[in-house]
Amino acid sequence: MDNNQDRQGKSLELPKPENLMRLALSDSGFVFDPVSGNSFSVNGSGMAILRRLQQGTDLTRIVASLCEEFEVDALAAERDVIEFANLLRNTFR
């Protein structure tokens, strides 16, 4: 593991997988939260991140797999995952 990966792993608080596990997701981008009763739309990259977080994947692996699946470099992906993880953490408590 290089320094950058080490830094990522320690510094980011990911949403709790159990809070995300309760969400009902559809491939078309529909998200339903049975606890709050709220529904959401999520785009393709958001869905990819959400599914990985549900499985408890760590940031390093999420970024690496996003770079394989999408036309994005690691830095841009990391920046967007950090921001999106924060949004998920605050939305699904």
Partner 1 sequence: MNQRTPWSKPILTPHRPGGMNKFGALRPQLHQSELDGVAIMPLLEQYGSPLFIVSEKRLRENARHLRRAFSTRWPKVRHGWSYKTNYLGAICNVLHQEGSWAEVVSELEYRKARALGVPGSRIIFNGPWKPAAALEQALLEGAALHLDHLDELFAVEQIARRLGKQVPVGLRLNFDTGHTEPWSRFGFNLESGAAMDAARHIGASQWLQLTGLHSHIGTFVLDVRAYAQQARIMAEFMETVERETGCRIEYLDIGGGFASHNALQGLYLPPDQVVPSFEQYAEAIVAALTDATRGRAALGKPLPVLVLETGRAIVDDAEVLVTRVVGGKRLPDGRRAAILDAGVNLLFTAYWYNHDVRPLQPSEGLAEETVLYGPLCMNIDTVRASVMLPPLNLGDALLISPVGAYNNTQWMQFIQSRPAVVMVMQDGSIEPVRLAETLQTLTDPERVPEALRAPFPNPSPSR
Spatial neighbors of 43 by CB under 8 A, at least 6 apart, are: 29
**Binder to partner 1 among 9, 17, 70, 75 (CB under 8 A)?**
70
Map the footprint of partner 1 across residues 23-42, applying CB under 8 A. Answer: 29, 31, 38-42
Measured in degrees and rounded to the nearest 5, phi and psi for residue 78 equal -60, -45
Q: Are 14 and 84 in contact (CB under 8 A)?
A: no
Tell whether residue 90 is a contact of partner 1 (CB under 8 A): yes
Report the nearest approach of partner 1 to the CB of residue 51 (Å). Answer: 12
Regarding 57 and contact with partner 1 (CB under 8 A), the answer is: no
